[in-house]
Amino acid sequence: MNFKKTILIDLDGVLNIYEGNFDKDFIPPIKEGAYEFIKELSKDYIIKIFTTRNRILVSEWIIKNNLKGYIDDITNVKELSYLIVDDRCINFDGNYNNLKQQIDNFKTWYKK
């Protein structure tokens, strides 16, 4: 029996061309390479999109970008998962010594 681990992937800034200009009624186009990435990843993992956006709007975006067969669910809850992929996160390495500095100096990839 092959057990697939679940991965939560953030929508804005990871799967789409989002650069901080949030519009609740519009999801930016898919980021180059995202389709191939999701297709390949889905062979070994359960993929859930993590977002606070409207679920219907996200579902339409998934269908429009031919991702329906690769995405298992949409959630706004950081639920039990093997891994979370997000453009707004810091990897905690078990050491608090420089964590505050990392937080204070954090910039998303598109602001570097």
Q: Which residues of the chain register pLDDT less than 70?
A: 1
Plot region of 4 (φ>0 → left; ψ -120 to 50 → alpha; else → beta): beta
**Cα–Cα distances in Å, from 33 out to 30, 66, 77, 99?**
8, 13, 26, 31
Give the residue from 31, 110, 19 showing the smallest Cα distance to 9.
31
* Rounded Cα–Cα distance for residues 18 and 21 (Å): 7
**pTM (2 decimals)?**
0.86
Res 17: pLDDT:
94
Q: What domains, with CATH codes, occur in the chain?
A: 5-111 (3.40.50.1000)
